[in-house]
Amino acid sequence: MSILQLKDNCKINIDEHSLVEGVICFDRNNATIAIGKRVFMNGSLIAAQNIEIGDDVLISWGVTVVDHNSHAISFSERSQDVVNWRLGKKDWANVKIAPIKISNKVWIGFNSIILKGVNIGEGAIVGAGSVVTKDVPAWTIVAGNPARVIREIPEDER
């Protein structure tokens, strides 16, 4: 695991029997990341507020989970973002930020992207290469860009 950026008062908790590889980036002070038990992850977590990952979750290679838009829409506001971010002076006032929750027993396929404000319900599966922009119901399979429900997972497969 590589931690690229660690701001003030940021916290990461990795519970027992988890294997976490990839990149962790805290983009703003007081950001938190919580990773549950028996999680396998090989992707990127980029937090400005909060990313929560439940127990028994599989996050495949190349997955990116990011709880913010990174930049404001207005060019005049984002034109100096990189310089200001490196100096610790980035203005987050006009950047949309919302926490992400990945519930227990979720499987996220490789090269998927999970965007700000998303809640992925228990047992859901995200197909490879998907871009998840909205909540995913429990025990469903979603795929695509943007991700949409493909089918529900039957009781006998849960």
Residue 71 annotated to the active site: yes
Considering the candidates 7, 37, 38, 71, report the single residue annotated as catalytic: 71
Cα–Cα distance measured from residue 41 to residue 22, given in angstroms and rounded to the nearest whole number: 7
- State whether residue 67 is helix, strand or coil: coil
**Buried residues in 91-128 as b, exposed as e (16+ CB within 10 A):** ebeebbbebbbbbbbbbbbeebbbbbbbbbbebbbbbe
* Catalytic center residues: 71
